[in-house]
């Protein structure tokens, strides 16, 4: 779709502002690419409906919970006609959960598609996440305001939040806001839990025969919201490239100083996609993949021994340095610690008020030890007191341990140091082990989106409006064939219920979108596994450098290595 004259004028205005950095000025001028199906007039886009779908598991339970939206077909967009495309609409948009690069472009794409269909339509942003919908805290998004945020990082256009719409009162409040203000649709931009909430909201409106549609958009830098039709969540590309630049910088420093072992914890609570992608991009000395730890029943001591073996081997070659990548959620995947955390989550959910009444850590630890099973009590007692404290901190909104607060990288450094001291005392090690620790998280969440993410997010937002114009609800915006140039991208939507299963939350079985974990049989992990022994013994660092926005497409528009390898798997 051609950019409107008004939008081009606004972009030139913001690009001329002297308070902006040169890069920010240039990014305002960037025109995101769209899939071919979305380049036509909105009224000339049609939808092809496939067969009825099933959820990934727990079909009967989910069918009962989503009686009105379960089983909807996969939709593919293409040439056609839509007589309802030009209808005047009021649409609300929500940014939910943690920030991810490209969120602003989702809203820009949604706005441009809406305006191209009918200039009298209105887009309203609910401030501060889903809570803004419940509290009716919103702002009208005008062309001038939206243009200020095109191709930029962050969620500051309307802010985000982690409120879940889950009580009867919250659903009723959201319904009242939508009906009283005559909203036709709500677009929820978020991760697996946020899109689960979108599915529940869509079902709620349908149950009450309300004319409000709900469309989700897949967002999370963790990369764990994906399947055959959602090939990647937005923000993963930019975040992993940002982290890989930093890792490469540290690798270069390590190879220059030749005296430090750097332990780097990377975001990714429930899956190791970030760690795996960064390993493929930078070829570190050692990288832990949480899913492998769980699959092979590796203990904490097994992990420590593996790192220590590598340190000893490199010391024999005179290389007393290296880089170790640690997934944020590793500790939950270690079988004995994972079992402990599971018990802790249930125990503290069932006794939240009593636990809150315990004023000291000593009282909390004593109570926990008495109420845990024998094996978990032993594991808890064997952990350093700092790790015990971190396990007992306030839970996240889902009632789970906040693993990002657990300093796993420091735990590994302490345990590897202890193991090396023992080996030194036995004459099995004579090298040096000086360490540095890092946690890369916030550094990647609001970066300037890469060209890939700028294009992908704009397409997802534009596509979300087309799904609304097609009269759909309970769907997530899908743009696929992403390993190819945008000219080959395929636009459509898949039912949110198709991605769901039942899981234990707050001690109860609840419907959630199943997280996509690293598959050990897929090409990305196999590529990593085939080379890691060489990377461990021979310094093989790769330095990706900063994200490039201008130049040859093979560099500037390239997707992640993970996406390319997964595309090869599907071919």
- CATH assignment at residue 166: 3.40.50.450
Asked whether residue 342 falls in the same domain as residue 391, the answer is yes
Q: Is 137 labeled as catalytic in the residue annotation? A: no
Q: pTM of the prediction? A: 0.92
Asked whether residue 425 falls in the same domain as residue 546, the answer is yes
> Is 499 a member of any domain?
yes
Asked whether residue 222 falls in the same domain as residue 247, the answer is no
- The residues near 216 (Cβ < 8 Å, ≥ 6 apart) are 187, 188, 189, 190, 194, 195, 198, 199, 475, 476, 477, 496
The CATH code of the domain that includes 433 is 3.40.50.460
> Is 403 a member of any domain?
yes
Asked whether residue 346 falls in the same domain as residue 412, the answer is yes
Please report, in tens digits, the pLDDT of each residue of the chain (571 residues total): 445 555 555 555 555 555 788 888 889 899 999 999 999 999 999 999 999 999 999 999 999 999 999 999 999 999 999 999 999 999 999 999 999 999 999 999 999 999 999 999 999 999 999 999 999 999 999 999 999 999 999 999 999 999 999 999 999 999 999 999 999 999 999 999 999 999 999 999 999 999 999 999 999 999 999 999 999 999 999 999 999 999 999 999 999 999 999 999 999 888 999 999 999 999 999 999 999 999 999 999 999 999 999 999 999 999 999 999 999 999 989 999 889 988 988 888 888 889 889 989 999 999 999 999 999 999 999 888 888 888 888 766 656 777 777 889 999 999 999 999 999 999 999 999 999 999 999 999 999 999 999 999 999 999 999 999 999 999 999 999 999 999 999 999 999 999 999 998 777 899 999 999 999 999 999 999 999 999 999 999 999 999 999 999 999 999 999 999 999 988 7
Asked whether residue 336 falls in the same domain as residue 262, the answer is yes
Asked whether residue 536 falls in the same domain as residue 468, the answer is no
Whether the CB-CB separation of 491 and 38 falls below 8 Å is answered with: yes
> Is 511 a member of any domain?
no
The number of helix segments (H) and strand segments (E) in the chain equals 24, 15
Asked whether residue 220 falls in the same domain as residue 351, the answer is no
| DSSP H/E element including 480 | strand 475-480
Asked whether residue 149 falls in the same domain as residue 245, the answer is no
> Is 125 a member of any domain?
yes
Residue 433: both structure tokens together: 């082990």
Give the whole-angstrom CA distance, residue 263 versus residue 356.
Answer: 34
CB atoms within 10 A of CB 464: 30
- The domain total for the chain is 2
> Is 77 a member of any domain?
no
Asked whether residue 313 falls in the same domain as residue 241, the answer is yes
What is the DSSP secondary-structure string of 384-395?
Answer: -HHHHHHHTSPP
> Is 510 a member of any domain?
no
Asked whether residue 414 falls in the same domain as residue 460, the answer is no
> Is 64 a member of any domain?
yes
Asked whether residue 431 falls in the same domain as residue 463, the answer is no
112, 192, 222, 557: which one is catalytic?
222
- Which of these, 532, 540, 537, lies nearest to 255 by C-alpha position? 540
371: domain range? 236-445+522-570
Task: Compute the 3-state secondary structure of the chain and give helix, strand, coil in percent, each to the nearest 5.
Answer: 50, 15, 35
Tokens 């409106």: give the residue: 205
> Is 515 a member of any domain?
no
Residue 496: both structure tokens together: 């949110």
Asked whether residue 190 falls in the same domain as residue 287, the answer is no
């Amino acid at each position: 779709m051609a950019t409107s004259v008004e939008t081009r004028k606004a972009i030139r205005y913001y690009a001329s502002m002297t308070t902006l950095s040169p890069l920010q000025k240039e990014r305002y001028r960037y025109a995101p690419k769209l899939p071919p199906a979305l380049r036509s007039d909105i009224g000339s886009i049609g939808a092809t409906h496939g067969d009825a779908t099933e959820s990934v598991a727990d079909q009967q339970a989910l069918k009962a919970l989503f009686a009105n939206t379960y089983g909807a077909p996969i939709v593919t967009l293409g040439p056609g006609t839509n007589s309802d495309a030009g209808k005047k609409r009021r649409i609300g948009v929500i940014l939910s959960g943690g920030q991810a690069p490209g969120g602003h472009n989702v809203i820009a794409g949604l706005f441009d598609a809406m305006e191209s269909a009918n200039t009298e339509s209105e887009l309203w942003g609910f401030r501060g996440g889903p809570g803004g919908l419940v509290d009716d805290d919103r702002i009208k998004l005008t062309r001038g305001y939206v243009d200020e945020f095109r191709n930029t990082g962050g969620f500051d256009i309307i802010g985000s939040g982690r409120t879940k719409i889950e009580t009867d009162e919250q659903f009723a409040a959201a319904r009242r806001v939508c009906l009283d203000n005559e909203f036709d649709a709500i677009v929820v931009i978020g991760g697996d839990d946020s899109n689960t909430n979108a599915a529940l909201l869509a079902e709620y409106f349908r149950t009450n025969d309300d004319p409000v549609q709900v469309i989700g958009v897949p967002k999370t830098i963790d990369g764990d919201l994906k399947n055959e039709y959602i090939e990647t969540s937005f923000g993963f590309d930019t975040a992993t490239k940002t982290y890989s630049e930093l890792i490469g910088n540290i690798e270069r420093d390590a190879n220059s100083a030749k005296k430090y072992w750097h332990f780097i914890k990377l975001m990714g609570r429930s899956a190791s996609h970030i760690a795996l992608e960064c390993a493929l991009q930078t070829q570190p000395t050692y990288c832990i993949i949480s899913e492998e730890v769980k699959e092979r029943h590796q203990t904490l001591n097994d992990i420590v021994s593996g790192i220590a073996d590598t340190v000893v081997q490199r010391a024999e070659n005179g290389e007393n340095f290296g880089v170790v990548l640690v997934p944020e959620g590793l500790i939950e995947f270690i079988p004995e610690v994972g079992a402990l955390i599971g018990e802790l989550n249930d125990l503290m959910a069932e006794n939240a008020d009593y636990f809150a009444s315990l004023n000291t850590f000593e009282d909390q630890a004593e109570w926990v030890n008495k109420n845990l099973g024998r094996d978990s009590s032993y594991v808890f007692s064997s952990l350093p007191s700092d790790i015990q404290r971190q396990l007992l901190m306030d839970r996240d909104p889902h009632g789970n341990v906040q693993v990002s607060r657990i300093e796993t990288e420091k735990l590994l450094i302490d345990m590897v140091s202890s193991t090396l001291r023992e080996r030194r005392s036995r004459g099995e090690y004579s090298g040096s082990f000086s360490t540095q620790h890092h946690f890369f998280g916030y550094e990647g969440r609001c970066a300037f989106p890469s060209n890939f993410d700028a294009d992908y997010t704009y397409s997802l937002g534009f596509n979300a409006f087309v799904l609304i114009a097609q009269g759909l609800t309970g769907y997530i915006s899908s743009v696929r064939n992403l390993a190819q140039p945008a000219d080959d991208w395929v636009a459509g939507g898949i039912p949110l219920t198709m991605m769901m299963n039942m899981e234990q939350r707050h001690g109860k079985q609840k419907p959630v979108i199943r997280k996509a974990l690293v598959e050990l049989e897929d090409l990305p992990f196999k590529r990593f596994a085939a080379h890691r022994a060489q990377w461990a013994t021979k310094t093989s660092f790769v330095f990706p450098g900063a994200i490039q926005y201008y130049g040859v497409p093979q560099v500037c528009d390239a997707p992640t290595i993970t996406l390319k390898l997964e595309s090869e798997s599907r071919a």
